[in-house]
Structure 1
Amino acid sequence: MPHPFRLKAIASLFAASALAASARAADTQPLVDVVVISASRVEHTSFDLPAAIDVVGAARIRDGQMRVNASEALAAVPGLVAQNRGNYAQDLQISSRGFGARSAFGVRGVRLVSDGVPASMPDGQGQPSAFNLDMAERIEVLRGPFSAIYGNHSGGVIQLFTRDGQGRPTLDLSLSAGSDSARKADISAQGASGAIGYVIDASRFETDGFRTHSAATRDQGFAKLTMRPADGGKLTLVANSLRQFGTQDPLGVSWATYQRDSRAGEIDATDTATPQRTFAERYDTRKNIEHQQIGMAYDQHFGDDRLHVMIYGGNRRVTQYQPFSKGFQAPATHSGGVVDFDRDFYGADVNWVAVRRLGGGKLTATAGIDYGHSNDDRKGYENFIGNQFGVQGALRRDEQDLLSSLDPYLQAEWQAGPWVLTAGARHTRMTVSVGDRFLVNGNDSGGVEYRHTTPVIGALYKIGTTLNVYASAARGFETPTLNELFYSGVGGGFNFGLRAAESTHVEAGVKASIGDHTRVNTALFQVRTTDELVVDSSSGGRTSYKNAGKTLRQGAELSLDTTLAGGFTGRLALTALRAVYDQGFGNVQAGSRLPGVPNANLFAELAWKDPAGRLGAAVESVANSRIYAEDANSEIPAPGYAIINARLTANEQMGAWRFKQFVRVNNLADRKYVGSLIVGDTNKRYYEAAPGRNWMLGASVAHVF
């Protein structure tokens, strides 16, 4: 892996060549500034916002991809590390400016939203697998201080927006296949009839997995209706479903096992009856997931003012078989190796946007209230009967877990002349309540409440029509998730003494347009955090957490987009991040790097399309510096790596028929590298290998009626 300074040199060379070429690109199409809503909750050009925000368009999400993992599209965003674990039982690993890197599964520390409906629970835990990438129109990624206006999280906000049904009815069928017996079929329909638009999509994805015991099958469904029942009004109904049964969990492995065979699982040396059998195979580690969600949003404009009302609800059922049975130091509090919960959740967000003339400028003010609630019926069972493992055994846990949050918020923006001034505040009140019904091992019932106000302020100054500078600051707030509260130490019960982490964010940036064909965004940031939540112990799928001392994150981000002559375009995203413990604790010394966080990562792409838009090709590079697996930085870190991917795309149209094809090869040099880490694993099985050279291809046909 190149040293971080070499990464910067590569980025500088790329940028210099892009800028030089753009100066000669008089015959190219100019870049168009994108409109976003994530930072201000109203439509706003990203160029004029005092915030770091990037937009991933539909072409990057859908073209040349199987559209299974959002990590492929999010790799092009600076400040964000999106890792595909190659483990569909645990979902993607996404961190923003170092927040969320410790998550043992799913995403925490980064707020997920889909079509305005939260894909994160009130405690901040979210599942990006619920995103429907087949119908995606764009993804907005907000980092830094302005994320605080979304409440309980610290690192950022990822919002997915799907397309609205419009035009004549269209039926689309796509088929794709790839390495490790990966295959996907997707069928969708869209169109509009009068004032009603509709989108319907259904897909199935299957894979044998790159690693031993990592097969998965995923069924997704999606439906969206848009209506305009009144002048200036819009009603949107969205429903989605996810079903994964028998999703195998390959678990992490030790460094020695990874070095021997990156596909292999960790051998269970205690299994004398069946030598060479892995932990994953012995316990048949797997997960069943059923997720359904529906949301309704109504927007009514009264001139420049607007009323927004959104309500949602859903159910999530999970059964997970983990690789342990009784082997904990405190078996009296052991809750078994099978997790089984049935979660009902619902919520609402109501806000009013008022626009007025004030002091020679325009004031846009937003006042709202956000409510979220989840109710878990949670049970735990032994992962064995007799001498057979991987089967549901005796009941060891039975409880009801309630989460609720109520967050009023205010936000205002004033624009006058070259100035854009923004301020806002949100007050979060989150309560956790546990009702223990399994009293054989004692009563773990109890509750805890977290309260915090998160203010944010920002200012942008327009030096000219092509150059803006800005600065912003905020106080962040990150409560423990329900899963982080479940255990205290090894084998202990609920950890109601776990405190929320509080952080102070500051950011300064420059946004520049160089001619009509190149856009550059840069940001410098610093985050100081107290009571950082860190892994206390992690073993066999069970992770407990504790509060550490202070941490410091300092970094820089650069993104560059350019259109070049001859149909070429370029994209560069570069992040440099120093994330360290500013205060030591236990055996962790001050200055130790935060685990799971690279100090540099790079995405660079050179793409081409023919003038008619029928053929396309691209070469891209993704690089990360080394990453530590635990707080003390004493174990072997995951080495840095740089890989190269390539793709070819084609499309044709014959009357009412449209055809698309793609071929993609990832990791062209067949580089062996660690794709993600299980942070703080007590058994030192930290490493999850990424695939070597792998391919995928696909074709689709659409008919417009």
Structure 2
Amino acid sequence: MEFRRLPFPLSRSTRRSAAFSATLGAALAAAFPCHADSEALTLDSVVVTGSRVEHSSFDLPAAVDSVDARTILESGPRVNASEALSGVPGINVANRQNYAQDLQISSRGFGARSAFGVRGIRLVADGIPASMPDGQGQAASFNLDRAERIEVMRGPMSAIYGNSAGGVVQLFTRDGQGTPGVDGRFSAGSYGSWKADLSSDGQVGPVGYVIDASRFATEGYREHSAAERDQTMVKLNWSPTRDGKLTFVASTFRQKADDPLGLDWNAYRQAPASATANALSYNTRKTIEQTQGGINYTHRFGEQLIELTAYTGSRSVRQYQAIPAGVQANPRHSGGVIDFDRDYAGASARWSGRFPLAGGQMTTSLGLEFERSEDDRRGYENFSGTTLGVLGNLRRKETDTVSSFAQYAQAEWQRGDLSLSAGLRHNRVAFVVKDEYITGVANGDDSGNVTYERTTPLVSALYRLSPAVNLYASFAKGFETPTLNELFYSGSGGSFNFGLAPSDSKHAEIGVKAYVGSDTRVDLAAFHIGTRNELVVDGATGGRTSYRNAGGTTRRGLELAVDSRWAGNFSSRLAYGWLDARYDQDFATRIYDPVSGTTQPTTVNSGSRLPGVAAHNLFAELVWRDPASGFYAGVEGVARAKVYVEDSNRLQAAPGYAIANLRAGIERRFGAMKLGAFARLDNVFDRQYVGSVIVGDTNGRFYESAPGRNWLAGVSLGYRF
């Protein structure tokens, strides 16, 4: 894993943060002017996330981290991205212990309010978006078994990815090359969890290949949280010419998961592993089936490159919610069962070239991107007669189409120790709803359409203060449209609200990246983000959430880490993030009243903190490796400050916590055979804590419990023919 960041004393303002960054950079340059040697620089992985042209992360004017294959392998069973991303500052990936709702991922506060899935962050796997055109994504479809790396970007440069790109998370599968081989891995652990994975990779003639299939099952930490997941993937790479490369990727994903829903405070304190009563009576659950494939071709013409990508896929979902039968009596209600079949596709084209200009080098990129999804969506009652949790009468039928068309241009000029970058992107996102279930005046016609357009600029500069120290600054505008799910239930009577406005944001960031000697890297970023028309939760009940626009917000913070190698085969990592995210204006909302058990109107005061966001996050790790024996052992510490659960900050916040984890393993080669064994013990001291929250739940069921002490162990076997 590439080097990260460490908690220095926090500044009181963005101006003081800037001065601190510059002072630190100058001090490092003076103290360590000549230590960025070749050995140290090999620790800097290549990233492509930011400018869409390969850079070392050290020379990219952005807060970006690359999590390597070894880190992914040692972080857990490779089921959830939260396992591998815990050491990335500025991004919080919470495992809900609820596979029906996916992970909760937030980057500098973007995405924290998501009741399910991922929104506000752009997800991409092997060049194929795991985020739909409306900004909603699913990290569960990431196949971690053959991942070469995961790149994580925060800050202004994310804006080049358009709608809902408050951050970017990209997964890359390694190319097939070398002698063909097979690998198998089996792991088992607490709560009846197990995973089996079988893969093969290598090169046959001119074609490289990677094939993987896995099955995961768990009874779940909480009651009514069992899940089963099957995944397959194929990647083929072929170079028809010396300068051309063709890549094909395809994958399938199938999952069945029970949904325990959230808990109120008393239930969490007394029985953290329990499920909500309605989850049991309505048998809340979700099934997903997804198939997708894509093709990419790149060709170099000297200093120029053309890249073409196309993909298509289908996704089917059926989800049983805990909507009470009486609530569904409203003729405008769409039922307690969500059922849809989605077809999606996209294509992109990019040209880049490098030219001499004004005594320096200019690298320019031009690109087009088109994405489209179409849902055949139905809603049913979640009861039949007196039987709950079964498919009942049809209450909704419609076709929902979302399309996105974007054009972007980006240029970077480098001369000597100075690099200047600028970019411009235009996005048009169109929503069209065709209501095919109209039973009368009371039911109404929810057909309609809305289009959002934005042009977002990006500028940045990087100065090489010395071979070991880089200073940078960047600024960009971004925007976040409502997703289909946010439009669905936000109108009167639970209908569509085509009047929701997108949230616009302005991002500013300054930072320093430095090598201290040949064995330590320090990265520091300070940022300030202002938004207007922030999308906030208006109400959440029974698995259904509605949204509205509020006023503006201000987010400022620091991300700092240190990664070091020590004598005796030790290495360490410290990653810290501080985020102060607050509302700028008063606005009216509704919150749960624990006394009456109902929702009551209230005012959110200016200065209130954004819910779902912790002010402080810390990760620390110390690892020992013995190259001779292949043995490793490590200890991890994870700490998080309290998290507010609703906008007014008046109700019980999820308390802060600190936990410790242990891991150990060994990997040995015997000729063509490779054997391995590994084990993890998480939450060593058996702390009770809230792993994630459901923001704004109008039943007061905000809290999703994390497991106590739990273990995982496994073996692996590989053979090269």
**Band of TM-score, shorter chain:** over 0.9
Q: Which amino acid aligns with 2:173?
A: T
Task: Tell me the CA shift for residue 195 of structure 1.
Answer: 1.9
Note the alpha carbon deviations across 1:513-554, whole angstroms, 9 max, x for none.
001110011000000000000001110011110000010000
Match of 2:697 in 1: 681
Aligned to 1:488: 490
Q: How does 1:561-572 map to 2 (within 5 A)?
A: 561-572=563-574
Q: Could you tell me which residue of structure 2 aligns to residue 641 of structure 1? A: 657
SS, match of residue 169 in structure 2: strand
Paired letter, 1:253: L
Alignment of 1:91 with 2:107, yes or no, is: no
Spell out, residue by residue over 1:472-493, the C-alpha distance to the aligned partner (whole angstroms, 9 max, x if none): 0000110001110001257420
- Distance in 2, matches of 1:28 and 1:644, equals 35
User: Which of 548, 551, 554 is the aligned partner of 2:553?
Assistant: 551
Q: Which residue of 1 aligns with 2:225?
A: 214
1:695 aligns with 2:711: yes
Superposition deviation, residue 194 in structure 1: 2.4
The one-letter code matched in structure 1 to 2:420 is L
The letter of the residue matching 2:180 is: P
How much has 1:578 moved relative to structure 2?
0.2
2:237 aligns with 226
Please give the alpha-carbon distance, in whole angstroms, between the structure 2 residues aligned to 1:303 and 1:389: 65
User: Residues 36 and 515 of structure 2 are in contact (CA less than 8 Å); yes or no, is this contact kept in structure 1?
Assistant: no
SS of aligned partner of 1:332: coil
8 Å CA contact retained: 1:205, 1:218 = yes
- The answer to whether residue 605 in structure 2 is matched with residue 589 in structure 1 is yes
Q: Pairwise mapping of residues 646-665 of structure 1 onto structure 2 (< 5 A)? A: 646-665=662-681
What is the CA distance between 1:116 and its match in structure 2? 1.2
Q: Which amino acid aligns with 2:274?
A: A
**Equivalent position of 1:273 in the other structure:** none
- Partners of 1:360 and 1:531 lie apart in 2 by 44
Match of 1:62 in 2: 73
Q: For residue 70 of structure 2, give the secondary structure of its aligned residue in structure 1.
A: helix
Amino acid at match of 1:610: D
Residue 269 of structure 1 corresponds to none
Which residue identity lines up with residue 535 of structure 1 in the other structure? V
Partner of 1:405: 404
The aligned residue for residue 632 of structure 2 is: 616
Q: Distance in 2 between matches of 1:372 and 1:142?
A: 22
Contact 1:329 1:490 in 2 (8 A): no
CA distance in 1, matches of 2:483, 2:141: 19
Residue 145 of structure 1 pairs with residue 147 of structure 2: no
Q: Is the 8 A contact 1:330 1:492 kept in 2?
A: no
Q: Does the aligned pair in 2 maintain the 1:28–1:517 contact within 8 Å?
A: no
Deviation at 1:559, TM superposition (A): 1.7
Q: Give the equivalent residue in structure 2 for 1:272.
A: none
From 531, 534, 551, the equivalent of 1:532 is 534
Partners in 2 of 1:634 and 1:126 — Cα distance? 31
Aligned to 2:457: 455
Distance 1:613 1:166, change over 3 A: farther
Shift in Å, 1:9: 7.7
Q: Distance in 2 between matches of 1:588 and 1:160?
A: 38
> 1:107 offset after TM fit, Å?
0.4
- Is contact 1:214-1:248 (8 Å) kept? yes
State the shift of 1:563 in Å: 0.6
Where does 1:119-134 land on structure 2 (aligned, <5 Å)? Answer: 119-134=130-145
2:202 pairs with 168, 181, 191, which one?
A: 191
Cα distance in 1 for residues equivalent to 2:710 and 2:502: 42
Q: Which residue of 2 aligns with 1:347?
A: 346
Per-residue Cα deviation, 1:398-443 (whole angstroms, up to 9, x for no partner): 0000000000000101110000111001100000000001112110
Deviation of 1:159 after TM superposition, in Å, equals 0.4
Match for residue 439 of structure 1? 438
Deviation at 1:63, TM superposition (A): 2.3
Structure 2 residue aligned with 1:510: 512
From the superposition, tell whether residues 530 and 389 of structure 1 become closer, same or farther in structure 2 (CA, over 3 Å): same
2:375 is equivalent to residue 376 of structure 1: yes
- 2:181 and 2:9 mapped to 1: Cα distance? 47
Is the alpha carbon distance of 1:343 and 1:26 closer, same or farther for their aligned partners in structure 2, counting shifts above 3 Å? closer
State the Cα deviation string for residues 185-204 of structure 1 (Å, max 9, x = none): 00000010222100000000
Deviation for aligned residue 1:229: 1.0
Deviation of 1:613 (Å)? 5.5
Kindly provide the amino acid, as one letter, of the partner of residue 533 in structure 1: L
1:628 aligns with 2:644: yes
SS at match of 1:74: coil
Native 8 Å contact 1:64 1:662 kept in 2: no
What SS class does the counterpart of residue 364 from structure 1 fall into?
Answer: strand
Q: Deviations over 1:11-70 (max 9, x none)?
A: xxxx9xxx9xx99x9999745221110001011111111111011010110125210011
Match of 1:299 in 2: 298
Sort the Cα spacing of 1:659 and 1:511 in 2 relative to 1 into closer, same or farther, 3 A. same
How many Å separate the matches in 2 of 1:656 and 1:174? 17
Partner of 2:50, secondary structure, is: coil
Counterpart secondary structure, 2:494: coil
For the residue of structure 2 that corresponds to 1:310, the secondary structure is strand
Structure 1 segments of 4+ aligned residues over 4 angstroms from their partners = 6-10, 25-29
- Counterpart in 2 of 1:574? 576
1:50, 1:460 within 8 Å by CA — same for their partners in 2?
A: yes
SS in 2 for 1:251: coil
Taking structure 1 as reference, are residues 495 and 560 closer, same or farther at Cα in structure 2, changes over 3 Å only? Answer: same
1:251: Cα distance to partner?
A: 0.2
8 Å Cα contact 2:487-2:500 kept in structure 1: yes
| Residue matched to 2:17 | none
1:201 partner letter: D
Match of residue 61 from structure 2: 50
The structure-2 alpha-carbon separation of the partners of 1:675 and 1:302, relative to structure 1 and needing over 3 Å to count, comes to same
Contact residue 36 and residue 467 of structure 2 kept, 8 A: no
**Is 1:262 paired with 2:272?**
yes
2:168 aligned with 1:166: no
Partner SS, residue 149 of structure 1 = helix
| CA distance in structure 1 between the partners assigned to 2:401 and 2:471 by the alignment | 44
Cα distance, 1:329 vs structure 2: 8.4
SS of the residue 1:258 aligns to: helix
| 1:155 aligns to 2:166 (yes or no) | yes
Structure 1 gap ranges (5+): 1-5, 267-277
Please name the residue that 2:477 is paired with: 475
The Cα RMSD (Å) is: 1.9
User: CA deviation digits over 1:579-613, x for unaligned, max 9?
Assistant: 00011101100000000000000011001101325
Aligned residues: 678
Whole-angstrom distance in 2 between the partners of 1:629 and 1:639: 10
Q: Per the alignment, do residues 591 and 26 of structure 1 end up closer, same or farther by CA in structure 2, a change over 3 Å counting?
A: closer
Letter in 1 for 2:263: V
Normalising by structure 1, report the TM-score.
0.94
2:193 to 182, 204, 208: 182
* Identical-residue share of aligned pairs (%): 55
In 2: Cα distance, 1:418 partner to 1:490 partner: 57
Residues 488-525 of structure 1 deviation map (CA, whole Å, 9 limit, x = unaligned)? 25742001000000000000000000011100110000
- Between 27-36 and 481-490, the greater mean CA deviation after superposition: 27-36
Cα shift readout 1:141-170 (whole Å, capped 9, x = no counterpart)? 010000000000141000000111111111
Work out whether residues 329 and 491 of structure 1, in 8 Å CA contact, stay in contact via their aligned partners in 2. no
Between 488-497 and 49-58, the greater mean CA deviation after superposition: 488-497
Which amino acid letter does the alignment assign opposite residue 422 of structure 1? S
Q: How far does the alpha carbon of each residue in 1:198-231 deviate from its partner, in whole angstroms, 9 at most, with x for none?
A: 0000000000000010000000000000000122
CA contact under 8 A between 1:147 and 1:156: conserved in structure 2?
yes
- Measured in 2, the distance between the counterparts of 1:207 and 1:293 equals 25
1:76 aligned counterpart, secondary structure? coil
SS of the residue corresponding to residue 670 of structure 1 reads coil
Q: Structure 1 residues 154 and 164, CA, compared in 2 at 3 Å: closer, same or farther? A: closer
- What amino acid sits opposite 1:292 in the alignment? T
